[in-house]
Amino acid sequence: MKKILITPRSITKDGHPSLDRLRNAGYELAFCTPGKQPSENELINILPGCSGYLAGVEKISAKVLSAASGLRVISRNGVGVDNIDLNAAKALNIEICKTEGANARGVAELTISLIFAITRSIPFADGKLKEGQWERRLGIEIKGRTLGIIGCGRIGKEVACLALGLGMNVIAFDPFINDFFTPAANFRYAELDELLANSDIISLHIPAGKDGKPFVNDSLIQKIKKRVFLINTARGELIDDDALIQALDAGIIMGYATDVFRTEPPGDNILVKHKRVITTPHIGGFTEESVDKAMNGAVDNLLKYLK
């Protein structure tokens, strides 16, 4: 079988030159509904007969994988694979490939952008002016402030370097400390509780938990420094929405900026409409450079494995 399914939303909508390499190698390409994340039923209907699968962030369940007769490899155009039932894939001998670091810079730059946007209330100010109103919120300057980075992998390291260049102090928590990463004197690793108690801004760069439980919950919120700003460019599943809303309304968390949601698009999500929340539609890796790196890497992995 020489058929490959393509599902990343931006690619099904706009295409990408890297797909020509698959066509030139003799593969037929199948696509889900353009610009939309495929449902479980759509995947079950279209995957049978495909030997390769270039996947986005859609959920790939055991039911989907069981129906995918002939599937040999799933290649992600990104690093996250928590959307895939890895146990089912292993049992069915389906290889899982990812493009390490392809979108790290894009996500890191968006993280810094969201820090500026939330600490200076930029969307609020822009919206008020567009309504013909002159209304301001007092902001903060980030030089000398402490950024807590939870998860110091490729993206976390990029964020740390950018923040240090802006004059911030950086505390990082990661279960796998990299002793070789010492970018500046005002960077250090710390335990999670110390990070929570001392950070003015916290940025999440960890995968969703395998147990499905949110990372940011009532217990964690009780440990954070009051009036903190929270940034999430990792996974929507990390957040207990109800606990976060209570913390925002109480002024414990001054603002939340997120690029990710449990369900995408998020639909009628109260967080999207909250006055102290800034949202973007999963654009962290949606830059020309990141898309090119991710797609070329994903195609390389498909051609390498299927060969």
Bridge partners (DSSP) listed for residue 31:
6
pLDDT in tens, 2-38: 999 999 999 999 999 999 999 999 999 999 999 999 9
CA–CA separation, 74 and 87 (whole Å): 14
pLDDT computed for residue 227 by the predictor: 96
Cβ atoms of 163 and 147 closer than 8 Å: yes
> What does pTM read for this prediction?
0.90
Residues linked to residue 201 through DSSP beta bridges, in sequence order: 147, 229
Domain regions of the chain by residue span: 3-102+287-306, 104-279
pLDDT of 178 reads: 82
Catalytic residue list: 235, 264, 282
For residues 205 and 151, the answer to whether their CB atoms sit within 8 Å is: yes
Q: Which is nearest to 46 in space by CA: 62, 30, 26?
A: 30
How confident is the model over 44-83, as pLDDT tens digits? 999 999 999 999 989 999 999 999 999 999 999 988 888 8
Strands 277-279 and 187-189 turn out to be unpaired
Amino acid 209: pLDDT: 86
Question: What sign for the dihedral angle of Cα 124, 277, 273, 252?
Answer: negative
Q: What is the pLDDT of residue 229?
A: 98
Strand stretches in the chain, DSSP E: 3-6, 28-31, 52-55, 73-76, 95-97, 146-150, 169-173, 187-189, 201-204, 228-232, 253-258, 277-279
What was the pLDDT predicted at 276?
A: 96
Residue 25, judged by CB atoms within 10 A of its CB (0-12, 13-18, 19+), counts as middle
Tell me whether domains 3-102+287-306 and 104-279 share a fold: yes
CATH node for 3-102+287-306:
3.40.50.720
Q: Which residues of 205-222 are buried (b: 16+ CB within 10 A; e: fewer)?
A: bbbbeeeeebbbeeebbe
The segments of the chain whose pLDDT lies below 50 read none
- The CATH number of the structural domain formed by 104-279 is 3.40.50.720
